[in-house]
Structure formats: C-alpha cells, structure tokens
C-alpha cells in the first residue's frame, strides 16, 4: 500500500466548532499567546493556564469529528495513512484514524511540570477528570500541567514526523497556515517527486517553490474532492 502522510492544522477541526487560534476572533485574540501558551505564562499564573486548558478540554465534550476527519480515517482502506497533526484535540482518533502523531501535545493528557516529556508522568484523563486543579500532582510530586508543547519548548515528535515525511508516496496538507515551525518545515523533507496536495479555503503561501495541487475548500468538501482524485 502506498504511504499517505497528512499534515493537519486548526482548519481541520474548525468545522467541528473548535476555535482556531490565529484567525480573527480566534483564541489568540481573547488570550494573548504569552499568557496561556508559554512556559513563562505558566510560571507567572498557573491558575489562569490551568483554567484555560480545562475550558479547552470541556469543549471537546461538546464537539465531534467532521466529515473531513471521517474521510481521512476512511482513506486507510486505500493507503497506509499517517496523520501528523498540529492540533491538540482528539478528533482524528475519534473519527477512526489509527496512526496520529501529535506535534504540539494532547489536550486530554496531563504531565509533570518538572519533566513534561517523561513518559512515566504522562497521563490520559477521563472526561470526568477534565477539571484539573492547582494542587493535583504528577507522580513526581510536581503540579500537573497540560501535556501541550508551548511556544519556546522543544517539539519531541518532530524527528518521528520527519521520518514519515521522508517515506511518503503522497503528501497532503489540510487547514494549516504553514506559519508555525518546525511543523511548517516538514514539506522540505518530502521527496521531490512525491505529489503534494493542499486543502484550505484560504490561499496558503508555499515557500519551497514545488508544485502543489491546491483544493481551495474547507476540510470536509476538500476531502471529498481529494478522495475522488486519489481513489475513484
């Protein structure tokens, strides 16, 4: 089976009702990124940051995967699919995608404030545990923090993602502005002969100068068209 490697961003989940961060009216308008998505913000006001991610988690209970997520999962009938996502929601998994690499962490998990990437301290929360409180501690005694890769932190899964990109037979980008590095640089690791598809309703600048087949639609409509192009 050919390997389809997919890079997804906030636009993938927008139709499900999850706020994008960068668009007008997005989360960064309401909460400055420095306050809720940096180690410094967390150190300055752990309560604010903990509450912010509690709200994001609770939002997950009110949304469901959209047709784009479902169609991507269905592509596993025809391809060996790897989803590399910048999203921290669990909608790919809920739609049935079996291999998902989360570059920026996972909202449904918490970890140690001292050793956030130590697998011994990463814990998946059940929905009834989504309200994390100050004073809830990891196994090493530190305050539980969101298992999120904040701005200024290393991206532990980037090497794994690069490995998959280097082996892709088809590369697909959905709903990402290609602004956030290192994720935006993954296209540079896709071999030159590999066809690249981009699904996004907005125009996305591709810096590499390589040919890209653009489908200027939202995630669900775009995936319908992509499936027609690749499968039917």
Tell me the two tokens of residue 66: 């959209």
Q: What is the DSSP letter of 128?
A: G
Report strand pairing: 100-102 vs 80-85: parallel
How far, in Å, CA of 22 to CA of 90, rounded?
20
Tell me the two tokens of residue 52: 């912010």
Pinpoint the alpha helices (H) of 9-137.
Answer: 10-14, 27-30, 33-36, 39-44, 46-60, 67-74, 91-95
Crossing angle of the two packed helices 67-74 and 219-230, in degrees rounded to 10: 20
Tell me the two tokens of residue 160: 């794994």
How far, in Å, CA of 43 to CA of 211, rounded?
44
Tokens 């709200």, residue located: 55
- 60 touches 93 (CB < 8 A): no
How many CB atoms within 10 Å of residue 124?
11
Q: 69, 92, 104, 193: which is the annotated catalytic residue?
A: 104
**92 catalytic per annotation:** no
User: Where in the sequence numbering do the catalytic residues fall?
Assistant: 104
């Amino acid at each position: 089976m050919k390997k389809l490697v997919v890079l997804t961003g906030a636009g993938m989940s927008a139709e499900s009702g999850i706020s994008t961060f960068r668009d007008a009216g997005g989360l960064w308008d309401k909460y400055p990124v420095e306050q809720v998505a940096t180690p410094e913000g967390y150190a300055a006001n752990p309560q604010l940051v903990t509450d912010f991610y509690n709200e994001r988690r609770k939002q997950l209970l009110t949304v469901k995967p959209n047709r784009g997520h479902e169609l991507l999962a269905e592509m596993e009938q025809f391809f060996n699919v790897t989803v590399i996502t910048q999203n921290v929601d669990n909608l790919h998994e809920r739609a049935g995608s079996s291999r998902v690499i989360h570059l920026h962490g996972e909202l449904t998990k918490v970890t140690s404030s001292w050793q956030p990437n130590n697998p011994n301290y990463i814990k998946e929360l059940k929905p009834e545990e989504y309200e994390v409180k100050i004073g809830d501690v990891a196994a090493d005694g530190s305050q539980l923090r969101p298992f999120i890769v904040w701005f200024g932190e290393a991206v532990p899964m980037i090497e794994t993602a690069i490995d998959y990109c280097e082996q892709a037979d088809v590369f697909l980008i959905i709903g990402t502005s290609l602004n956030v590095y290192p994720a935006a640089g993954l296209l540079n690791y896709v071999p030159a002969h590999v066809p690249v598809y981009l699904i996004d309703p907005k125009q996305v600048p591709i810096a590499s100068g390589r040919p890209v087949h653009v489908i200027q639609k939202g995630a669900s409509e775009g995936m319908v068209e992509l499936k027609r192009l690749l499968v039917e």
